[in-house]
Amino acid sequence: MPLVRIDLSATRPPAVRRAIADGVHQALVDAIGIPAGDRFQIVTPHDPEELIFDPNYLDVARRDVVYVQITLVAGRPRELKLDLYRQITTNLTNVGVRPEDVFVTLVENALDNWSVGNGRAQLVDLGAVAGARVEP
């Protein structure tokens, strides 16, 4: 039940923005085992000056960063997270984003922190989420 925030330059055309969102989602499906239907994303285009980044911190040559922040239930093991970063980056590279410009950060929360419609806490009812080793 990830919530994905994608903040990127408005100079990337709408079709590319959508392809970027598709690529992030597919990586969540492939790397962590998120169900294909479990897709919730907020895309925010920005004037370029609103996206501030260092052009070479940690020896990564950035030019036009795509910020991806994913809130998801805790418990995915580290190896799945590392694979997620690789797959997001591969998928975004395939739609024209330079790999250096892919920035991802995760925020983890609990099963009872989600309501995805009708006022219910669906994950509490389900009792688990895909890809989590330790149930939070």
Q: Least distance in Å: CB of 132 to its own copies? A: 14
Q: 């080793």: which residue's tokens?
A: 133
Taking residue 39's Cβ as centre, other Cβ atoms within 10 Å add up to 17
Distance CA 111, CA 13 (A): 36
Q: How many CB atoms lie within 10 A of CB 106?
A: 15
> In the beta sheet, which residues pair with residue 73?
109
**Of residues 40 and 96, the one with the C-beta less far from its own copies:** 40
- 14 catalytically annotated: no
Q: How is residue 135 annotated by DSSP?
A: -
Closest contact distance (angstroms) between CB of 76 and its own copies is 9
Cα separations in angstroms, 27 against 15, 33, 37, 98: 18, 9, 13, 17
Under the rule (CB under 8 A), what is the footprint of its own copies? 1, 3, 7, 14, 17-18, 21, 35, 37-46, 49-54, 56-58, 60, 62, 65, 67, 69, 71, 78, 81-82, 85-90, 99-110, 112-122, 124
Residue 30 or residue 108: which is nearer to its own copies going by CB?
A: 108
